[in-house]
Amino acid sequence: MCGIIGYIGSRNAIPILINGLKKLEYRGYDSAGISFLTGSQLGVRRCAGKIRELEGFIQKEKLKSTIGVGHTRWATHGKPSEENAHPHRAGGIVVVHNGIIENYFELREGMKKEGHRFTSETDTEVICHLILTYTQKGLSLEEATKEALKHLEGAYALGIMSEAEPDRILAVKNDSPLVVGLGEGEHFIASDIPAFLKYTRDVMILENGDIASVSRSGVSVWNMHAGKKVNRKVEQITWSPAMAEKAGFRHFMLKEIFEQPRAIADTIRGRISLEQGDVNLSEFSLKGGDLKKLNKIYLVACGTSWHAALVGKYMIEDMVRVPCDVDIASEFRYRKPIIPKGSLMIVITQSGETADTLAAQREARRLGARVLTICNVVGSTSSREADGVFYTHSGPEIGVASTKAFTTQLTALYIFSVALARARGRLGASEAQDLFHELLQLPEKVKAALECNDAVKKIARKYCRVRDFLYLGRGINYPIALEGALKLKEISYIHAEGYPAGEMKHGPIALIDNNMPVLAVAPDDNVLEKILSNMEEVKSRGGTLIAVANEGNTKVATRATDAVYMPRTNYYLTPVIMSIPIHLLAYHIAVLRKCNVDQPRNLAKSVTVE
Ligand code: M6R
């Protein structure tokens, strides 16, 4: 997830671009850049770091221009550095890009053979070179862009400028957001409305396949799929600037919960081949041969990432039949672990900077294990020090409570489990294809699951004043009970515990009375009957039951006082779906208790101290 801004008009574009980038910084902040035209001469200024670094860097130059594009980056391909920062340039063409070009590697290799010289590690640079190739054949910028787009696979929003046509910006949208702001004799393009809300409230929302040609006098839109010019509605935005920053959501946490369909789709993108039932292993830097030799896996993480690790154990042991140990990172390093030859440590970390996780990762390497990190931040310490990286591509997570990072970690673990199972001959191509079919439906199912928001809010109103909460789960969904309890503690300050439901009778059942709600995570899986009995045990002792179950499950309905029903998916992916109402419940309870949802007391987003 990156941020794009563009301006064309009569004012100086430079401060407009910088202000816009500051508003988009929540979308990415590892490097930034702008490009502008002075007459028909393109200038590019970029640097690693935050927007204020870019601002400081260009301030001395007193730059002036009435047309330009800018970009704030959240790295997906290539580390955060000046060379990889956008805008990218080839000849007289510059491009800013948000999204992922899945086939960039093949395109780049092909163009290298034709003599193109690449200066970055990004997927974006191929777009400039492709457009340049077609302009050199005599096509206009718009026609050249149309030809170039035919080669691209993946998701993208683009801002494009050309020295040869200094009076227009092209805005292209395909599966990544892009909007056009309409002013008097001036126009804007941006990934998100807050970037230009200060200047105009009239917004044109582009649709997939749109190429908007934006000039001072107007905007015309061509749609690639329709193969013709189209009219797009102009809407008046009534949000306040603060609301707009969170895309109209009240908090970053809620925004991030609702971003999950996109985040999961981006995590899957380019990783699997449905036709062959195979996983693309190239970016893990672990080869099929390495995977065959593994005989032990350690999953290590902290907090919510540790819950993902627990789910990962169920996935890997079930699909791959390799023994897995799961450790809390701060425990691993002090327990004198025995690491046999052929061990792999899978580190799971959103930030890639958690001190305890890094210490465990270093200890494992010292003891001879190879390390794969499942990480959300490109270029983070964990990713730099690992033997292989699986980036989750969920975009920056601003809310301290981890939500989309968690479900994308689960998605990554699912893909990695299939890769491992295929490499070791535990899964045939057709079984992998079945698993992929289900995976590809996951973004849509998560979208459907999010429809429970109003029902969950009602439940939150009923229980938001309690002092204690108990969460129960079994099997692969036991970690989801832990996750529910952690989220509630973290943002609402209600005491909560997560328990494997079968353990209730060994102690915690003594706590049950009508003051403590018990939430059961009860999807239709191999332990449904077991958890139904555990629910009976709670009910018969006067406990109040809330259930999270699958659509049409009447057995759960008769036992629970309140229930929410989720779409069905396969066994391994139920934790992704079940975590949607769990996260929403914690969120709504915290809001009702007037807690600081995005920045809970005593907590930091990234815990970089032991
Ligand atoms: O960045 P990491 O995934 O390594 O962070 C680990 C935990 O600090 C983190 O998951 C924490 O538990 C969250 N605040 C939970 O919502």
- Report the pLDDT value the prediction gives residue 244, as an integer from 0 to 100: 67
Percent of the chain at pLDDT > 70 equals 98
DSSP assignment, residue 76? S
Average pLDDT score, the chain: 93
Strand partners, 48: 31
CB contact set of 454 (below 8 Å; sequence gap of 6+):
none
Highest-scoring range by mean pLDDT, 110-114, 158-162, 376-380:
158-162
What confidence category does residue 12 fall into, taking pLDDT thresholds of 50, 70 and 90?
very high
The answer to whether residue 605 is catalytic is yes
DSSP assignment, residue 157? E
DSSP assignment, residue 115? T
Instruction: State if residue 305 touches ligand 1 by the CB under 6 angstroms criterion.
Output: yes
Q: Which residue has the tokens 């109103």?
A: 461
Strand partners, 326: 299
- Report the pLDDT value the prediction gives residue 242, as an integer from 0 to 100: 67
Global pTM? 0.80
Amino acid at 282: S
Nearest-CA neighbor of 65 among 8, 21, 18, 13? 13
The fold of the 252-427 domain, in CATH, is: Rossmann fold (3.40.50)
H helix and E strand count, the chain: 20, 27
| Fold match between domain 3-237 and domain 452-592 | no
The DSSP-derived string for 382-410 is HHHHSSEEEE-------SSS-SHHHHHHH
CA distances in angstroms from 441 to 304, 412, 427, 448, 601, listed in the order given: 24, 15, 20, 11, 37
Domain spans of the chain, in order of start: 3-237, 252-427, 452-592
Instruction: State if residue 606 touches ligand 1 by the CB under 6 angstroms criterion.
Output: yes
- The residue whose CB lies within 8 Å of the most ligand 1 atoms, and thus the one to mutate among 300, 306, 354, is 354
What φ, ψ does residue 289 adopt, rounded to 5°?
A: -60, -45
The answer to whether residue 404 is catalytic is no
What CATH number is given for 452-592 in this structure?
3.40.50.10490
- Measured between alpha carbons, how far apart are the two ends of the chain, in Å? 30
What confidence category does residue 289 fall into, taking pLDDT thresholds of 50, 70 and 90?
low
Q: Is the dihedral of CA 492, 494, 495, 498 positive or negative?
A: negative
Q: At the top level of CATH, which class does the domain 3-237 belong to?
A: alpha beta
Average pLDDT over residues 512-534: 93
Largest CA distance in the chain: 80
Residue 287 has pLDDT above 80, yes or no: no
Q: Which of 79, 296, 462, 605 is catalytic?
A: 605
Written as six digits, the tokens of 162 are 């050309």
